[in-house]
Each structure stands twice: as C-alpha cells, then as structure tokens.
C-alpha cells in the first residue's frame, strides 16, 4: 500500500513513530515488571488499576496467547533478548498447562496454580494460540513450534469447520462434542457462529500463512474473507453483524465500532498476504466504506465509542482501550488505501485522546476505558482474562512498521 499525501509531512510521521516506539516500550516494560508470576509460574491472572495482584485469579489461554504474540512480535521488530525470554516464558506455560495432550487444542483457563482447567474448547482461544505460535516461530526458528501451529489449524478444520455451510462453530466440550453454552463472555449471544471468532480465525490463518504458504490454508482464508462479504458485512449500513445461527441466519443488530474498524485492516492484510489481487481490490474499497461507517461512532474528542444498539437508539458511552487501539490502525490503513488525509488526522486525534485519557501515567499500561464524563471505568482489570498487551502493543508495532524508516 502506498501513502498518497500532499499535506502529511515526514516530520509528522517521524514524531508519531517515535511516540509509538516509546509507548510500545512502556507497555512491554509494564508486563515485564508487574505481571510475571514468580510464585506459580507464567503470568498473574488478574491485576487491578493500582497494580495489586489477585493471587488466586484463574489464568486464561487468551491472555497467555496474547502475551506470547506481543513479545514475539516485539522481538521480531526489535530483537531484544528480554522480549524473546518473555515470549519463551509464555510459550512454556501454554505448553505445560493449557495444551490438552489427549484431545487436542487448548483449555479456556486454568486455576492460579496452573491446575484444574476449564476444559471448554473455545475456537477463539485456539485461534489466538495459532496466531501466537506462528509469531513465536518467526522469533524462535523452532520447527516444533511451527508444527504445533499447523497441528492446531488441522484440528480446527476437523472439529469446528462447517463443511456444508462454511464458517466455524463457536465452542465444544473437552473432547470436541457439541456444547450448550457457546458464549465467550456473559455479554455475548449464545449463537453458533460469531463475527468475533471468525475475524480472529482469519487473523490466525493469515499469520500462519506467512510461515506456511499451504494451498489448503489459502483456500480457507479466501473462504473466510467471502464469509465477511456474504454474511458479516451489512451491505446497507457497512457495519458488521455480530451473531448468526448455524445456518447463517442473523441473530443480532448491535453495532461494535471497535470490531468494525479492526476488521477493515485485518481483511485487507489477509488478502494481501495470500496475494489474491481480486480480493485485495474488493476489500480495499469495502474497508473504506466500513471506516466511513465507523466515523459515526467517533466523539468530538477523537475517542471511539464502544457500541450502539439501533433498535432503541442506545449508545454505549464507554471508550474502551482496545477500541482506541484498533481505531488508530484502522484509520491509518484507510489513509494508506485512499490517500485521503482526513483519515490520518483522525488517527492523530485518536492518539491524542489516548495520551490524554487512556494511558495510566502513574501506574503504567492503559486503563480499561473511560465513561462519558471522562472518569475511569471502575472495577476493571489492568491485566486479566481479557485485558492483555495485544491490542495496544499491536497498534504500536503495526503503525511503526507501516511508517518505516524516514530519511
């Protein structure tokens, strides 16, 4: 993708890149300094905004996979041995405690000692493990790690992929049998096919294709991209539909602004990595349309609201950390694709909002989010099952990469 601009200067880009480089270091240092569990191994399962650890909190597979990805990706961009050691710590813990050697896949969570697993097989968590292992292979050069990622891919195809209607079923029991409660979290609808899981299966497969350009994998990526065009992207609103039943009947109306803007750049990345020119062109135009629809969720301060419920006109007036991180990358991608500088200015305004309201300048890392009155959302994690170093470190890594060296 080319940056086409008449008004954005190299000086602006250099300042932005330098700020993100510093923030990336801050994020990673936080996780190195506060989250390593020297008592039970691995990383603590829960830390609050005051950096107080909840020693008995469970440890999630999504958290650990995202830690593995973050430190692997950071090392691949800037080969600091400390990052590789942190990645290895995450990898070793996943192998020892989350991998089900009998039935395959990874457990949803374990207790604070790494025992008593919640044996639910959530496809979302297994996808993140593929994503992380693929990145760790690039860092470690371990053929075993690569084969583990490929093995998980084949497992998802065999156990979760709907061969008749396409798409991936959401969750299973430990031995990959049908399950009553499929939800990722209490806020989710209990449906068999979800946009969120498909987006992250696509993300995982894209990263796997970088290290293993297999023909069957390419076909799966193309099918996933088509799933978004056929089902997830509402042709009228250009927002994403979040939940479907097994037969692709729509089961939700809620708009998730963070997922909308995240999907724009992940879809284009997938098409580019597999080199499908027809899909690249189709996704490029569509991602601009989705970015335009996402602008509806921007506040005057540059922050992106969480969700909107069209049925009752209710806007969820919260600005979550991950939504802001994805807004930065998504609008930066829209600028690169379109050459329209308004998207770059949206990125800078969002980054200014993050610096002002989301960065915890006292205790480190990013707050979960803020409310409409600008106050910090109470009772949320600084680190936890869902609060991970992935969205914010990835936003820094991705934009630094896209800006590249400046002469």
Q: Where are the domains of the chain?
A: 10-403
Is 164 exposed, middle or buried, given 0-12, 13-18 or 19+ CB atoms closer than 10 A? Answer: exposed
| Residue 101: Cβ within 10 Å count | 6
DSSP SS3 for 340: coil
**pTM confidence score:** 0.97
If DSSP states are collapsed to H, E and C, what string results for 134-146? HHHHHHHCCHHHH
For the packed helices 61-77 and 390-403, what is the interaxial angle rounded to 10 degrees? Answer: 20
Q: Beta strands of 305-399 (E only): which ranges?
A: 307-309, 314-316, 318-320, 369-371
How would residue 2 be classed by pLDDT, with cut points 50, 70 and 90? Answer: very low
Task: Determine the pLDDT at residue 396.
Answer: 98
Its CATH class, for the domain covering 10-403, is mainly alpha
Asked if residue 192 lies in contact with residue 237, where contact means CB atoms within 8 angstroms, the answer is no
DSSP SS3 for 111: coil
> Which DSSP string do the residues of 256-290 spell out, in sequence order?
EHHHHHHHHHHHHHHHHHHT-HHHHHHHHHHHHHH
Task: Determine the pLDDT at residue 407.
Answer: 72
% of the chain beyond a pLDDT of 70? 99
Task: Write the pLDDT tens digit of every residue in 294-353.
Answer: 999 999 999 999 999 999 999 999 999 999 999 999 999 999 999 999 999 999 999 999
Task: Write the pLDDT tens digit of every residue in 375-405.
Answer: 999 999 999 999 999 999 999 999 999 999 9
Hey, which residues does 307 pair with through a beta bridge? 256, 316
- The whole-angstrom distance between residue 96's C-alpha and the CA centroid of its chain comes to 24
d(CA 116, CA 103): 16
d(CA 277, CA 281): 6
Hey, which residues does 43 pair with through a beta bridge? 36
Asked if residue 258 lies in contact with residue 327, where contact means CB atoms within 8 angstroms, the answer is yes
pLDDT at 6 over 70: no
Asked if residue 273 lies in contact with residue 220, where contact means CB atoms within 8 angstroms, the answer is no
| Overall average pLDDT of the 50-77 stretch | 98
Task: Write the pLDDT tens digit of every residue in 324-335.
Answer: 999 999 999 999
Hey, which residues does 114 pair with through a beta bridge? none
């Amino acid at each position: 993708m080319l940056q086409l601009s008449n008004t954005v200067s190299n000086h602006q880009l250099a300042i932005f890149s330098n700020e993100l480089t510093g923030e990336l270091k801050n994020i990673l240092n936080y996780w190195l300094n506060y989250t390593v569990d020297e008592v039970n191994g691995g990383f603590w399962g829960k830390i609050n905004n005051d950096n107080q650890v909840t020693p008995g909190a469970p440890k999630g597979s999504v958290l650990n996979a995202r830690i593995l990805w973050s430190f692997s990706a950071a090392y691949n961009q800037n080969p600091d041995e400390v990052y590789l050691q942190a990645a290895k710590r995450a990898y070793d813990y996943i192998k020892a405690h989350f991998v089900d050697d009998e039935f395959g896949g990874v457990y949803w969570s374990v207790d604070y000692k790494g025992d008593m697993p919640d044996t639910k097989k959530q496809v979302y968590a297994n996808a993140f493990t593929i994503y992380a292992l693929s990145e760790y292979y690039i860092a470690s050069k371990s053929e075993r790690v690569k084969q583990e990622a490929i093995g998980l891919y084949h497992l998802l195809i065999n156990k979760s992929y709907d061969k008749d209607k396409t798409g991936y079923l959401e969750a299973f029991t430990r031995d990959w049998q049908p399950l009553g409660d499929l939800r990722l979290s209490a806020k989710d609808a209990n449906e068999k096919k979800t946009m969120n899981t498909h987006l992250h299966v696509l993300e995982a497969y894209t990263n796997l294709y970088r290290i293993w350009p297999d023909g069957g994998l390419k076909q799966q990526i193309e099918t996933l991209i088509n799933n978004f065009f056929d089902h997830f992207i509402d042709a009228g609103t250009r927002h994403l539909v979040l939940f479907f039943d097994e037969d692709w009947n729509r089961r939700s109306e809620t708009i998730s602004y963070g997922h909308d803007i995240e999907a724009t750049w992940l879809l284009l990345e997938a098409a580019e990595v597999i080199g499908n020119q027809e899909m690249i062109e189709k996704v490029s135009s569509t991602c601009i349309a989705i970015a335009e629809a996402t602008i509806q969720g921007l506040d005057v301060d540059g922050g992106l609201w969480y969700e909107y419920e069209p049925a009752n006109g209710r806007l969820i007036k919260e600005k979550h950390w991950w939504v802001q991180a994805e807004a930065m990358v998504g609008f930066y991608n829209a600028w690169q694709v379109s050459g329209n500088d308004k998207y770059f200015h949206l990125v800078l305004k969002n980054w200014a909002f993050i610096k002002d309201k989301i960065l915890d300048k006292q205790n480190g890392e990013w707050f979960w989010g803020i409310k409409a009155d600008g106050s910090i959302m109470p009772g949320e994690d600084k680190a936890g099952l869902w609060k991970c170093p992935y969205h914010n470190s990835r936003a820094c890594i991705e934009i630094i990469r896209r800006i590249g060296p400046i002469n």
